[in-house]
Structure 1
Amino acid sequence: MANSIEVKFQEHFKLNVLFKDYILFENLLFENNIDYYYNINENSDISDGTRFFLLDKDRIIIDQLLIDNEIIASTETILFSDYKEE
């Protein structure tokens, strides 16, 4: 689907994706017709990753995409620092 502000006004969760995985993740969302929202102006500090707003209804699909593509992402409760990339 596309980058749509409407996602922020529905039941959603936030996911931070590392800069190195940003393009892959966005392409996977597009290929799987998953609506999302991010604002590049809100993500000026790329060290924290890019914050995506994603619909709750897509959580299971998104989890599987992250696992299958070995993308490390964080939520507001699980931070990047909790993971180590080997």
Structure 2
Amino acid sequence: MLGAFLVGLGAVFITIGTVGLIRFPDLYSRLHALAKVDNVGLGCIALGLMLEAPSVSIALKIGAIWLLTLVSSASLAYIIASSKYKEDPHAH
């Protein structure tokens, strides 16, 4: 029951992040929507799936996937923002 609720909550957060990606006007706002809201959504989904996992091994694998996604998302957001800033530092 709690697992299904967390998965649904995660889907809501990801939907909000996707709407932000489409509606926000500039790159930095879009990156914020992706790096923050989608990571919370993924965290809720991962936690919900971990609670419903049939074994501890599978739950730990889901947790590892979530952690790797958090690290890669933050790194990629930084790289994209940094390259845009170096391209045109007066645009922000």
Normalising by structure 2, we get a TM-score of: 0.28
The structure with the largest helix share of the pair is 2
Normalising by structure 1, we get a TM-score of: 0.29
Greater Rg, structure 1 or structure 2? 2
The structure with the largest strand share of the pair is 1
